Amino acid sequence: MGNETRAQEFHLPLAQITQSPLDCSVRYLTYSGDYARLGLEYMGAAPFPDTTSCELNLPSTTPSAVESLWCLTLLSPAATLTQLQRVLEFCAEQQWQINAIDTLAHRHECMVIRLQLNAELEFSPARFACLQLAEEIGADLVLQDSASQRVPTLAGFDMDSTLIDAEVIDELAKITGIGDQVAAITTAAMRGELDFRDSFKKRMALLKGFSEQRLAEIAQQLLLKEGAQKLLHCLRELGCKTVILSGGFTYFANFLQKERLAVDLIYANELEFAEGVLTGEVIEPIVDGMRKRLLLEEIARDMGLPLEQVVAVGDGANDIPMLNLGALGIAIHPKPKVRLEAPQAITLFGLDAALYLFGLNDQQIAKLGQP
């Protein structure tokens, strides 16, 4: 009996959750101002022996209405009671009042728990404290204004290393035998150590003579980032317009739009060819970080949208300007500098995890269908 895995729901005051010395797997947690419902899987002694318990009863298909000032979302690939206790202790230390808790995903490989907070807080230091706690507990912890817990009307995406799992310019360089040289420049630029425009010109000059014929072969081989198709499909189903804003190339962005991804608009850099090969020259204007931000602002203005209905997603230093523009700026698998400067960050999951930050749960996402 001691080695048998048990699954139970415990009913207890929220504060009592932090008092168990035992650790186990969390299946869900809900709370609405009275008693919490905590679903656990454990072996041996019960973590809360003196509380009411019953069989697991998975949460409602509809999350609670968001009525608090802030939302703090825990995204864990293997949620444990210790992780959850640390988050609750952290909120108490910060004097953040928890008004409601919902479980948006309760798969074994993906647990997403959203806490609604009423708190007078300064976003930047609070966000940084959340990042530190996230590293400590081995999860993602995302803080956002509760008004941003809704589906956006416009979403801007970086392409390289965001929608696709590569930096295209590096892939071109590998074929020409100068991969290490170009990759070093790209890495420095994405970390914010080099000016993007200057680094872009240097890399393009090194690619002079690359055959146009090879581009189509490379486009077919590009791997999408995990969750990219699902996120863009769901956004289209939800009526959100999507745009690629890339320091990469229109050639590949157009291919993705035509063959792989539900994207509405594209802004990227044009490749210049002469007699079937790259000239190594740059066609202005270069889509750098500030141009990405200006283009996203312009698109929102043309659509008559306030910036509160706009989100941006990226991974590199040249994405920071647009990540700090609208309701949410989600850094996906970001470089260290970007993780520190972006308003929100997802490091342990694919792009589709952004849907939880829009207030959707797994049941609602499933109803949108598959791409």
92: pLDDT strictly greater than 90: yes
Here the tokens at position 86 are: 């640390």
Residues 6+ apart with CB under 8 A from 22: 42, 44, 45, 47, 81
The reply to whether 198 belongs to the active site is no
pLDDT at 59: 83
Does the pLDDT value for residue 327 go beyond 80?
Answer: yes
Which pLDDT score, from 0 to 100, does residue 39 have? Answer: 97
| CB neighbours of residue 107 within 10 Å | 10
Residues in the chain, total: 371
Mean pLDDT for the chain?
A: 93
Query: Which tokens sit at 229?
Result: 């198709």
Which segments of the chain does DSSP mark as H helices, in order?
Answer: 81-94, 123-137, 168-175, 179-190, 196-206, 213-221, 228-237, 250-259, 289-302, 320-323, 336-341, 354-357, 362-367
pLDDT of residue 350: 97
| Bond preceding residue 285 cis, omega within 30 of 0 | yes
CA pair distance 73, 87, nearest whole angstrom? 10
The pLDDT of residue 267: 97
Beta strand 241-249 with 154-157 is parallel
Question: Among all chains, which residue has been given the structure tokens 């293997």?
Answer: 78
Assess contact for 241 and 156: CB atoms under 8 A: no
Produce one character per residue of 330-343: b if its CB has 16 or more CB atoms within 10 Å, e if not.
Answer: bbbbbbebbbebbb
Per-residue pLDDT tens over the stretch 268-293: 999 898 988 889 888 899 999 999 99
Residue 235 has pLDDT above 60, yes or no: yes
> How many CB atoms within 10 Å of residue 209?
11
335-343 mean pLDDT? 92
Phi-psi region of 44 (alpha: psi -120 to 50; beta: other; left: phi over 0): left
Q: Say which of 102, 140, 145, 160 is annotated catalytic.
A: 160
Q: Per-residue pLDDT for 192 more than 80?
A: no
CB-count burial class (<10 Å; 0-12, 13-18, 19+) for 94: middle
pLDDT at position 2 is 53
Taking 90 as the threshold, does the pLDDT of residue 107 lie above it?
Answer: yes
Residue in 73, 76, 125, 129 with CA at minimum distance from that of residue 102 = 73
- Percentage with pLDDT > 70 across the chain: 99
- What pTM does this model have? 0.93
Distance CA 363, CA 301 (A): 33
Number of helices (H), then strands (E), in the chain: 13, 16
Catalytic residue among 102, 158, 319, 352: 158
According to DSSP, the β-strands at 265-269 and 241-249 are parallel
Q: Taking a C-beta distance cutoff of 8 angstroms, is the pair 330, 354 a contact?
A: yes
Q: Which of 26-35, 83-92, 299-308 has the lowest mean pLDDT?
A: 26-35
Instruction: Quote the CA–CA distance of 81 and 355 in Å, as a whole number.
Output: 24
pLDDT of residue 1: 44
C-alpha–C-alpha distance, residues 189 and 203, integer Å: 11
- Active-site residue, 288 included: no
Closest to 289 (Cα-Cα) out of 170, 217, 199: 199
Helix axes 213-221, 250-259, angle to 10 degrees: 50
Please write the tens of the pLDDT for every residue from 3-32: 788 999 999 999 999 999 999 999 999 999
Domains with residue ranges and CATH for the chain: 5-148 (3.30.70.260), 154-367 (3.40.50.1000)
247 neighbors 193 (Cβ within 8 angstroms): no
37 strand-pairing partners? 11, 30
DSSP letters, 195-263, are: -HHHHHHHHHHHTTT-BTHHHHHHHHHPPBPTTHHHHHHHHHHTT-EEEEEEEEEHHHHHHHHHHT---
